[in-house]
Structure 1
Amino acid sequence: MAISVRSCILLAAFIFITSHSFGQGILKTQGKQIVNEKGQPVIWRCMGLGGWLLQEGYMFRVGNLGTQHRIKESIAGLVGEEKTKQFYDAWLTQHTTKADFDSMAAWGFNAVRLPLHYNLFTLPVEQEPNAGQQTWLTKGFAITDSVLSWCRSNKMYLILDMHATPGGQGNDLNISDRNAGKPSLWESDGNRQKLIALWKQLAKRYANEPYIGGYDIINEPNWGFQDTADKRGTAEKMNVPLKQLLVDMTKAIREVDTKHIIIIEGNGFGNNYNGIEPTWDNNLVMSFHKYGNFNTQPAIQKFLDYRDKYNIPLWLGESGENSNTWFTECIRLVEENGIGWGWWPLKKMGINNPLEIKMPDGYEQLLNYWRGNGPRPDSATAWKVLQQLLNNIKVQNNAVHRDVVDAMFRQVQTNSTLPFKQHVIAEGTTVIPAVEFDLGKQGQAYYDKDTASYQYTPGVHTQGNRGHSYRNDGVDITSNDAGSGIFSIEDGEWLQYTIEVKKAGNYQLGFNTWVENAGAQLSILANERTLIDKLTLPVTDSKQSNKTTWVKNVPLPAGTTRLKLLANKGGFNLQSISFIKE
């Protein structure tokens, strides 16, 4: 995406203003902007805490179970109801803590979107002892109070997001923990009245809290009101029940809180606003969600048109789960248009988030049983695995993906690169793992022909890291017994490594490779000057037998050098590069 000099200057100025305007009272809307009490514009750089108060199966490789209530039932089937309760009590206290918030603030996030499950705050309609009345539970409010205190201590705004409504707000069951055997939000007036009452209760509690950024009153409705076959709600033309509920929730909130921003989402997973506008309140923000499409102006133009037509601020309320290249391009796009963003999620099993939950030993045994592909583990074994999972979800035990954070913040503003790790070339043998190429954008730190996923763009079937391992750049990385390595290197692809050479002189360089195609070649450049030109790599016998090819008398200058490894002819995998002083 080409960026003009003027755009860079405007973006830098906007980042400076919006990064220095927190702690200035309750936010509000002013025309097309979100501002603080001094009238300074505020842009949310927000992280969504998916998987904590509401589990979605794909985050923990149990997509076949999907909804939280089915995951809970499956755990109970192995360890019993009492231990399942212990597990979920520990999950709520250990998954996300103040240490997570301290980390997010240090990385650059200034807001947090907290996905709420209604059942932490109130009973399901069918369990109410007195029909039509609301029983309030302390657990959800206490958790939210704690989260607010963590935000306050880090000068971050908290956005309350009703992710799981009473009955569930759509046909995608997982995102709202919906039980399809019971009336949905749209099929039960009791469910709708409970949701309205819950928002009023929350707004009353937090009416004067300056670090509450806003109320995201219903996440991703997906329902065909006019046509039940329209399961996603993307073809809906009127959205009459959705608009009525949004208006009713707004009215209830305004009875107790006239100050805070209310965030609305359209049908079709937040993006179908047919029939919902014009607005009915002077302090609304229009949210849209963006996944797996191109990061070009036309991709968001209809929302920019809404902003102009209705004089309302926009917020990219949820996005993510792609490659670093896609992250940088998307964030750059919306920030250049004066739009804040909310990423999803902070942590899960997988590489495309700031924190990765590691799989416990023995977890595959549970997964295979739940998938119907393996024997039932005994209760003691299952409980041991679940206890390790509870340990692994803690931030201190998560894998931190610095490349993801770098792509979301630093790379949005600069083309410069940074070393992924410090590589000092000294006496003896120095080995650099191939996967430790520099941090930076596609075309700056590396070049790969396939750098992002456009899963919601018809006819486009590309991916980023097809090995789904180690880091989230466009380079294909896989793990095996020998460690992580780069595979499927194609013609013209390249990798950059920043090295610190202690002593100038001639070195032997060794390239540990597995070569599939005869004629595979690589070149090495130092600060864009060719050191090794078109080295032919020998074909290896099997994927289990890498071979190191050595080149002697390679001159390296003392100090910092940027080495570029260029695949003149691809068809090889790369495990490491070795250096020996001659």
Structure 2
Amino acid sequence: MNGSSFSKPQRRLRTTFSGVLLLAATVFGFTAKAQQLSFLRAKGAQMVDASGKQVVLRGFNVGGWLLQESYILQTDSLNCQWRIKQGMLRTMPEAQMEEFYRQYRANFITKADIDFIAKQGFNCVRLPFHYDLFLTAAQRHARTQAMLSPKNVDGYVQQLSTWYDQNQLFTDDKNLDGFRFIDNVLSWCAANKLYVILDLHAAPGGQGTDRNINDNFVSLDLWKRRDAKGRPIYQDMTVRLWEKLSARYKNDARVAMYDLINEPHNLNVANGMSADNQELSALYSRLINAVRAQNDKHLLLLEGNGYGNEYTNLTPDKLAIQDKSNLAYNAHRYWCPNTPETADSNPNQINLLHNLAAFRDRWQVPVWVGETGENSNEWFVAAVQGLNAQNIGWCHWTLKRVDGPTSLLRVKPYGSILTPQGRAALLRNVQYANCQPNRDVIAALTQPATFQAPFAALSIPGTIQAADYDLGRAEVAYHDEFSAKVDYRDNTPWNQGGEYRNDGVDIKVNTNSPAASYAVGHLAAGEWLKYTVKVKSAGEYTLQMRVQKGTAPGLLSLQLDGNKLVSVPIASAATAGEWTTVAVKTPFLPAGQHQLRLLIEQPVSQISWMRFEAAGTTSAGGQ
């Protein structure tokens, strides 16, 4: 998966989220603890367990762990894992680099992370991994040498060819890192009754042109590279790797599916390949036949061309396989509409909800969204609701990211991975105990479309931060002119400040405040924010509002439980960036819990906070 990143430090969220977490299992209709694991199989268009009961897999990817993608670590300029390693090797020996990666993998995902996923009510984990974890130390050293210089790649390929002929690839399943990590995840997940999807995320040679996903040295080498004997050696290795994985896990019910190749992409005429997925169809046929030859009945998940979505010549009738049972088809849904009527004219392009369901029904095969996310909470809610309505499972990308608002867990910024201080901080910050849950993302993925709950405990008298509006989707907790990205070509940020929360509300760091705080900006007439507040003492109040003036006069208003409360006029700025604190009197406020709505009638530049004080008291205003 390739995505964008955000920056700036985030403050700790101030309230607990236990109520939302307790509701998650109710909304999904299952609890991870209660679900008993048995072998999954395809029954027509459904995935079912051994008793024939439908199982809908909903879970999380643990990306960035067994394959680093640069944006997850905010190392975008380095672009992929091997270039990160290449940068490290400029200042350290290879053994020291390998030791860093040993510690990184030991810290990034642990049982505590898996426990946390289960507690939210999810029932599966997709495990993306790099093929190089199944190499011996000596074989990985050879790959490191190829990484240091393009002229070494041919030599590496010939070494792979020799090891392949001598049956020295992927054979030491008791000592190779890849098998050990899979075994650990299976054990952690089994303790929580979670299924695991094994995902070959970086295949030998690389399955596309995007090295951030493939970690490849040469684009499309999986498809094009030949060894001295003329063999497609990387494809031969991929088949052998899945043979070894199948031999080890074929009787393991904890494994839901084998995801044979992640996101093949740009297999097209422009890159010297066929226009109709012939190469991909041939390799899938080889892989399926190899796994079935092990007497392995696991579900086999296919991913189409075009980042996992286009299935020309990949439908069951087109594959050169004897056993067509237990196939499942994948979609990766990013930055696309969630309306059920929106369709693609190509019936084999299945990332849109309409095409996905139609493909399932046409071919009577289970479908599953192996990756989705990288958008606003508003998009998440719409996507989840649309998929759940069709009983189509999904897996969010991804569990944790550095300073990432769209992940389940947010990793604190650490500096540079190319410095000793940065690496030490990264190893600390990625640990589960040091990560911060993105409660708004959790709510978006686990709650119904009508869900609304306090983001923070707000009371009157007291100060209400503008950015602490309620949890909930657009038109429930807030209204903003742009709240989700539904066109991959449109790079307009949904949160134009990129801070604090992942909604359509535009939040910035408040540089006018001496304390760590945020302000809501990029305001437009008609936008609004809703707050659940508790009025502790009935009475009249003085309302102060801290705002940055605009170039024209502004007008803000407050409603209480749907009734007009007060209007707050704001004069235009005399100087650029001018902040002011304005005060007005409120009518009588009854005690108890209420819904307070802040409406932008005529926009100001930014709003920092609202402060309610009992009438007759005064304060210094402040920043």
Deviation of the 1:131 alpha carbon: 4.3
**Equivalent of 1:357, from 400, 411, 415?**
411
Q: 1:539 aligns with which of 572, 579, 582?
A: 572
- Paired with 2:123 and 2:49, the residues of 1 have a C-alpha distance of 14
- Give the drift of 1:57: 1.2
In 2 relative to 1, CA 229–95 (structure 1 residues): closer, same or farther, beyond 3 Å? Answer: same
Q: Retained in 2: the 8 A contact 1:24–1:38?
A: no
2:330 is aligned with 1:293: no
What residue in structure 2 maps to residue 403 of structure 1? 440
Q: 2:129 aligns with which of 97, 101, 116?
A: 116
Q: How does 1:135-534 map to 2 (within 5 A)?
A: 135-136=169-170, 138-180=176-218, 183-188=221-226, 189-228=232-271, 237-279=275-317, 280=321, 281-297=324-340, 298=342, 299-349=352-402, 350-360=404-414, 363=415, 366=416, 382-410=419-447, 413-426=448-461, 430-457=462-489, 460=490, 462-481=492-511, 482=513, 483-533=517-567
**Superposed CA offset, 1:20-63 (max 9, x none):** 98314111110001111111111111211111111111222222
Query: 1:386 Cα shift?
Result: 1.3
Secondary structure of 2:396's counterpart equals strand
Secondary structure in 2 matching 1:70 = helix
Q: Specify whether residues 18 and 431 from structure 1 end up closer, same or farther in structure 2 by C-alpha distance, changes over 3 A only.
A: closer
1:85 corresponds to which letter in structure 2?
E
Contact 2:205 2:220 (C-alpha < 8 Å) held by counterparts: yes
Residue 74 in 1 paired to residue 87 in 2?
yes
For residues 207 and 14 of structure 1, the distance between their equivalents in structure 2, rounded to whole angstroms, comes to 33
CA shift, 1:207, in A, is 1.6
Amino acid at match of 1:198: L
Measure how far apart 1:463 and its partner are: 3.1
Q: Secondary structure at the match of 2:362?
A: helix
Cα separation, 2, equivalents of 1:571 and 1:405: 31
Q: Confirm or deny: 8 A CA contact 2:411 2:430 kept in the other structure.
A: yes
Note if contact 2:566-2:586 (Cα within 8 Å) is conserved in structure 1.
no
Structure 1 residues 14 and 25: CA distance shift in structure 2, 3 A: farther
Identity over aligned pairs, percent: 34
TM-score (norm 1): 0.88
Return the alpha-carbon distance in structure 1 between the equivalents of residues 26 and 112 of structure 2: 30
Cα pair 1:493 1:567 within 8 Å, conserved: yes
1:544 deviates by 5.7
The answer for the alignment partner of 1:37 in structure 2 is 50
Q: 1:57 to 1:461 in 2, by over 3 A?
A: closer
| 8 Å contact kept, 1:514–1:539 | no
| 1:400 Cα deviation from its structure 2 partner | 1.5
Instruction: Report the counterpart of residue 7 of structure 1 in structure 2.
Output: none
**Counterpart of 1:421 in structure 2: which amino acid?**
A
- Alpha carbons of 1:403 and 1:32: their partners in 2 closer, same or farther (altered >3 Å)? same
In 2, Cα distance between equivalents of 1:522 and 1:239: 57
CA distance in 2, matches of 1:89, 1:384: 17
SS in 1 for 2:406: coil
CA distances 1:475-523 after superposition (whole Å, capped 9, x unpaired): 0011144322111111000001111111111111111110113221111
**Which whole-Å deviations, capped at 9, do the CAs of 1:68-94 have from their partners, x for residues lacking one?**
000111122234434322221111000
Q: Partners in 1 of 2:169 and 2:221 — Cα distance?
A: 19
AA aligned opposite 2:599 = L
Q: 1:28 aligns with which of 38, 41, 57?
A: 41
Query: CA offsets per residue over residues 270-298 of structure 1, 9 Å max, x none?
Result: 11111111254210110011111111222
Q: Give 1:563-582 correspondences, 5 Å limit.
A: 563-582=596-615
Distance 1:495 1:64 in 2: 37
* AA in 2 matched with 1:423: L
438-447 or 509-518, which moves further after superposition?
509-518
Q: For the residues of structure 2 that align with 1:219 and 1:76, how far apart are their CA atoms?
A: 28
SS in 2 for 1:469: coil
TM-score normalised per structure 2: 0.83
Partner of 2:64: 51
Task: For 2:99 and 2:310, locate their aligned partners in 1 and report how far apart those are by CA, in whole Å.
Answer: 40
Displacement after TM superposition at 1:395 (Å) = 1.6
Other structure's SS at 1:485 match: strand
For residues 444 and 272 of structure 2, the distance between their equivalents in structure 1, rounded to whole angstroms, comes to 39
Determine helix, strand or coil for the equivalent of 2:545. strand
Quick one: which amino acid aligns to residue 574 of structure 1?
I
Q: Structure 2 unaligned segments of length 5 or more: list them.
A: 1-24, 144-156, 227-231, 343-351, 616-623
Deviations 1:508-555 (A, max 9, x none): 11111101132211110011111103x211334567652211112442
| CA distance 1:246–1:470, change in 2 (3 Å) | same
Which residue does the alignment assign to 1:376? Answer: none
Question: What SS does structure 2 have at the residue aligned with 1:489?
Answer: coil
Change in 2 beyond 3 A, CA 1:258/1:21: farther
Following TM superposition, by how much is the alpha carbon of 1:144 offset from its aligned partner in structure 2, in angstroms?
Answer: 0.8
| Secondary structure of the structure 2 residue equivalent to 1:78 | coil
Change in Cα spacing, 1:334 to 1:542, as seen in structure 2 (3 Å) is: farther
Q: Which residue matches 2:348?
A: none
| Structure 1 residues 149 and 420: alpha-carbon distance in aligned structure 2, compared to 1, 3 A threshold | same
Distance 1:160 1:356 in 2: 24
Q: Note the alpha carbon deviations across 1:233-259, whole angstroms, 9 max, x for none.
A: xxx642112111111111111122433
Q: Deviations along 1:146-168, whole A, 9 cap, x unmatched?
A: 11111111111100000000111
Determine the C-alpha separation between the residues in 2 that align with 1:139 and 1:186: 28
Partners of 2:32 and 2:592 lie apart in 1 by: 36
Distance 1:180 1:392, change over 3 A: same
Q: Does the 8 Å CA contact 2:223/2:279 hold for their aligned counterparts?
A: no
Deviation at 1:229, TM superposition (A): 6.2
Query: Helix, strand or coil: the match of 2:450?
Result: coil
Q: Which moved more, 1:448-457 or 1:308-317?
A: 448-457
Instruction: Give the letter aligned to residue 500 of structure 1.
Output: K
CA change 1:388–1:242 in 2 (3 A) is same
Is the CA contact 2:37–2:254 (under 8 Å) kept in the aligned structure 1? Answer: no
Q: Distance in 2 between matches of 1:14 and 1:33?
A: 21
Q: 1:63 to 1:328 in 2, by over 3 A?
A: same
2:582 is the counterpart of 1:549: yes
Aligned 8 A contact 1:213 1:260 in 2: yes
Distance 2:493 2:420 in 1: 36
263-272 or 220-229, larger mean C-alpha shift: 220-229
CA displacement, residues 212-239 of structure 1 (integer Å, 9 cap, x when unaligned):
1110000011133544268xxxxx6421
One-letter amino acid of the counterpart of residue 541, structure 2 = Y
